Structures are given as C-alpha cells and as structure tokens.
Structure 1
Amino acid sequence: MASSPLIRTARLAARPVARAVRRHILPRVLPTVRHPFPEQVRNVRVVGLLSSSSGLGESARLCIESLTQAGCTVSTANVAPLFDSDDGVAYPQRVSGPPADVAIYHLNPTMLLPSILRAGLPQHLRTYSIGYWAWELETLPPEWVEALRFVDAVMVPSRFCQEAVQAYTSKPVVVVPHPVGRPSADGGAVSRPSDARFRVVSIFNLGSSFLRKNPLAAIAAFRAAFGESDETELVLKISDGARYPIERDRIHAAIAGARNIRLIDAVWDRAELQALLASADVYLSLHRSEGFGLTLAEAALQGIPVVATNWSGSTDICPPDLCYPVDHALVPFSDPHPAYAGLRRARWAEPDTEHAALQLRRVRSDPGEARARAAALRAWLTGYLAQHDYRGALREIAARMPADGAPAAPEAVARS
C-alpha cells in the first residue's frame, strides 16, 4: 500500500546504501548450493512482487494461476513491500503447506538476493531454485550475471530473452511465455465515448523505465497521424506516477493540453484494465525494447489490432504479418534507470514515429482489414500460448539434467 511521505523520503535516502549492500556484500556472503532436479514436482513456491501493479507483479500472479490450474500445490512469498512496490493488488496468499519441490523467483535478478533473505534462506538452500527473468536487451548487466550463481535454472518469457541469458551460462534457460488467458471484462471503468471516437490505447508502468516504454514516441506518432482531430483519442494509462513525478511531467509537457490525448495515472485491477483494452480501436506500443510485452498480449487476446515496434521479445507474440509492425533503427542503448547499472555494449530500437503514424492511419482507414488481422493474431496467439506452459518448461529443465541426475557442470560465462 502507499506509504507516508516521511517513510518514502527515508527509503529514498537509504537506497544507495541498500544498493551497495545488494551488489557488493550479499553476493560474497550468501552461500550457493547446486541442486539435482526433483524426481517429481508437485509443490511449487512462488516468490515475487505479488501485490505490485507492475508487469513483474502481474506475471507472478499469472504464474500462480497457471501452476494451480496444472494441479500443483502453490505456496507464496510476497516481497513487494521490500522494494516499496506494494500497491495492495490482491493475490492468492498461501504461506504454508508441504515443503516445496521447486521455488520460482518471479522477479528481476537485482531483487533476488534480498528476496532470498526475506523469503527464507534455509528454504532456498534446500530447494531447487528457478529464476523467472524478463530481460529486454541482448546483453546482461553484471548484477544479472552474478545472480546466475544463486539459481539452478532460468525461465524466460521469449526467445529473445533466452538468447540473451543463455550466452552467460550452461544452466538450463527455457522459454515459458506469460500465461495470458482470454480476458472477460465485466463492466469496466472505461466505456466507449458517446461520440465513438477512434481510440488508441497504451498502458505501462513508469517504474518499468520511462525511456524503454517510450511514451513520448507514442504521443508524437498519434499527433503525426491525427493532429488534434476530435474524431480521435489517445488514452495513456500509467501507474506509479507519484513515484516518478519528473517522468509524468514530461508526458504532460508532450501532451501540451491536447484535448484528444488523455492521461490516466491510477492503479487498476485486471477487470478495469481489460475494460480499457476492450474499448480500444488499436493498441499502440512504441517500446525501445521488451522482454515479452504483457499488455500487447492482452490486447491481442482481446482481438484489438496492434501497432508495435518490430523488435525484441514482443516479436514472439506479434508476428509482423498479423499485426502492424513499426520500422526502427537499432541504436546505442542509453538509460540512467538503476536496473541497467553497469551495462555495456548494448543497443535497442528507435521506432520510426512517421511509420507508426502511417500504421495508425491504416488501421483507421480500413477497419475491415484491421479486424481480420486482429482476429488472426488472436487465434494464432491463443494456440501459441497453449503450447507453452510452466509444466512443459519444468519437463524441459528435467530433460536437460545429466543422466545421473547430478547438477549441471559449473557454468561457463560466455561474455563479461
């Protein structure tokens, strides 16, 4: 839940110290243990930002749902308060039960070691541990490489992520997309406008890197496509604006009072977000990089046409012939977000806003083609997600274990 200004100020002041402890002390004092893969997996522990409104939080909750539906007994450990990310989002709270056969740490590696301590070091030391990591670039920061020592395997949501992580380890790295189900919005917070304007929607969390999500490009593309036409509307749904006021102010400055661009800064539940998606004529994501693209998948499963940067993990769920891909140039990466500390030799995409504007106009000018393409994407994505699940990923990890069941050989780091 939101904390008081005094507490938030104290936490901000303590962050540099906490970051130094996390990066330089914990990796040296926490023990590493290699585990054989269990003979059977019935009980799974999920550790993550379970009450957070972020994509990390939602993906962890989806993991819990998927494993439960697959017949596993799932216990949970919520570490969102540890990272000032507790938004009060509901999740299945199962803190006790039989000992876990496998633990899935559904959070970024920068959060792994503090989360191990918070969730219980003794349990970690006796349990086969899997990191679920969503990464957006082709190279890893030093802290991510260091974290590989503390897990037995890694799950990732896309082939793009898999290639990036596998380059640094001989441990199993397997793909399991976020198990996004077909939504069923019940009422919802956002209805269609009475004037039936052509609505463009984009959803993101400011804590996921303002530059990576690239909302200023979305505003520029919308304005290039439609100007200030009252027959069109761009809805930017964000969260965490209070934590990132500078970035939120930059969005307001780019909107510059335009009457056909609306900014919503609030924490919504899944039904409310689904209702917003259902009201859209097109979903727009001009990201510079994505590990997966959770809201893109949710829009596609709603049957909403998608206009998206044609690069990184999102291409797994948005094949270019089934969406409206946006051209881009690959440029040197630059982002002061602390998640990327120490990263070198990276690149990401700079989407072409003029091409994005052209794609938006295509969707509006030919709604029949847009609906057909969206229906084809929904059918394809439904099948793709059905073929990949956590049970299958666990079987793949088991298949990659040595014949004698011993842990894999020490990892060979391919890049520094």
Structure 2
Amino acid sequence: MITGLDRYKNKWHIASDTSIKAGLDAIEQALAELGNPHKNQNFIHIAGTNGKGSTAAFIAAILMQHGKTVGNFFSPAIEDVHDQIQIDREPVNEEDFDAAFEQLSKILTPLTDFELLTAAAYLVFNRRKPDFTIIEAGMGGRFDSTNVIDPLISVIPSISLEHTNFLGSTIAEIAWHKAGIIKKGKPVAIGDLPEEAEKVISTIAKDMSSEILKSKDLYEGPLKLKGQHQKANASLAWVATEKILKNQFKEQMAIKGLSQAAISYRFEEVFPDVIFDGAHNEASVEALIETVREIYPDRAIHVVMGLLKDKDHEAILRKLETVSDHFTFLDFENERALPAKILFSKSSSKIKTILNHYDILPVSSKNEVTIVTGSLYLLAILRKRNYSMFEHYRPD
C-alpha cells in the first residue's frame, strides 16, 4: 500500500496491481512507451538492508552544499506518496505528479503500484532536471523496478537478512540481489558488510569491471543523526560523493552538509524524551539498541511499538527486551499490520499493555525515555495524530 497513490490513479483513471512482482520487463516496456525519461540523467543508485535513506540524505546534503540541485526517490512514504519524490529535500508538488500521471494514463503496459510510482519518479526528474538524482531501491536491487538506470555510482550501505520469501534465506543470496545494481565500468561504494556478502559483491564487481570503494574510518564530525551506524553512513556518503564530484569536492562543504543532514524517524527526538525510530528488522533494531545505550545509558526505557506481519517479531522483541521491560503495543491502520495482541502474547516484558488509539501518545510520567519504533506507517500515523504536541518542539 502506497499512501496517497490511489488519489492520482483515480484522477487519471489508471489501473495498477497492488502486488509485488519482481522483474524489469514491464517497467522497461512502460518507460519505452514514455520515451525513456530515465536516460541521460546523473543517477546515484542505493540498495541495502538498512541505511539507504540516511545515506541518501547525507549524499544529498553534501551535493546541495556544493551548490548542486538534487532529486531523491525514497521508499516507503513517510506521510504520503509526495514524500517519495523530492527535489532538494522538498516533496514535489501536485503539478509535478499530475504531469507525470497524465503521461502514465496513456501507456498500455500494465504495472504494479511500485512500478507506476517509479515511472512517475523518472518522469518528474526528467521534467525538473536536477543536477544529480539519488534513487533508493524498493526491495532487493537486481529485479527491483528502479534498476533500469545507468548510475554514476552504486551504493550498498548494509546487507542482512530481510524479505527472505523474495530474496533468499542466506546473506549470500541477498547480497546477489543487492549487487544487481552494480553496472559495467561504474564504481560501487560499500559499507561494512558481512564477509560472505562482501565476497559476493567483490566477485560481481570484478565481473563488471567495477571499482569497489570502502570508507576506512567512521566520520567523527558533528551529525544531527545519532548513533555509530550514522557515522558509518556519513563516511560512506563522503566516499561516494567525493568520487562523483572529483576535483569539485571540498572537505569543508562536505562537513557542513553532513552536519545539517536530517531524516525523519531516524532516532528523531520529536518531544522531550520521546524518540521516533523506524527500526523494523533485526539489524536496524540492533543499531537502535546500540544508540539507546550510547545516548541514554542510565535512563529507563519505555518501548512503544507496532510491526508489519512480515517481520520477525519474536526476534525483534527479544532484542528490545534487553534495554526495556516496559512495552506498549499498538494496532494501526494498515492491511499488513501485525495485531498488537500477538506482540503482547509473545512479549516477556514485566510491564506490557495494548493501546488501541493514537490520539494521546502513551508517554509515561515517570523518568523514562519513550522509544516509538517499528513500522514507518505507524510512526507517520502517530505524528499526524499528535501533531499539536510536536509542532513547536525543536531539539537543541
């Protein structure tokens, strides 16, 4: 479900399939009907399990600090579909969407929802013509509908087990999917990957005559985004952007850009002692836990959470229970949402409850830090419903 997409589908009388279908045939055929709007653009392609959005934000911030205009295609939406296509970190407007969907209404090739949105993104970027465009893969990489571009560089921040029903049950299989974004003769920048993943990447990069770039040290400058994993993402963004800009790259501009980069729901303090973090798989939960221990070593933690059905909820609970024994579980409006009663029944927490409304964020009056985590769809709902509480708060 892509929030807000139906509005444009209905307006322009477009039918598309809500299912996930791997493969590039349909998107390539549709783009050909549209005149191949994805050609002759300066793309950066990002695939990986975690860190895609943050790394994209860091790269965009560095490029913008160098005076470049930057397009971004994100997945999934934060508030609605407009978030997913941005120019200079601002959602594109209805005029851009209407222009794209008017063209899409005339094609004959049937598409899935994500393929439709991907095609719309390429149309918008072709219309707005940013200097650089950062494309985030939706799932996997090799057969993801974004993988029709010839990027200046490919970027893979991390690889861990995810979407195993689509991508395979081993790190090596998942790495093969991610490595599908590597293009002939174009460099690939990689984060700190598991040994078996790096082996797969190295083999494919060699076959593609693609130079592998690795960040050697963690970036230690000031960052709004908290946690060691964000220092790693910033380091990777530095390496990738330095390769793209070549002799135009200025270290002080990169430092300033990285210091200003921000992205919603990445250990974001939305209110005093209330943190929103979209950790939704084991690897991202581990990063969240590490950051909690780093930032709040002596504080009690209250976890508020909801997840989608396809996540390993028991493994996620076990990890979060290492930093908290106080949990609140939420049902939320999404057809893929895991019922809160299942989380409640599987939780080993000493203090646990289920909340079936969002109008008052369940913040404890005790000396606790509230970590709201799990599905980005849940976080978006909570932000919207509690907007008056959050709107004037700006952390130092």
Normalised-by-shorter TM-score class: 0.3 to 0.5
What is the TM-score with the length of structure 1 in the denominator?
A: 0.38
What is the TM-score with the length of structure 2 in the denominator?
A: 0.40
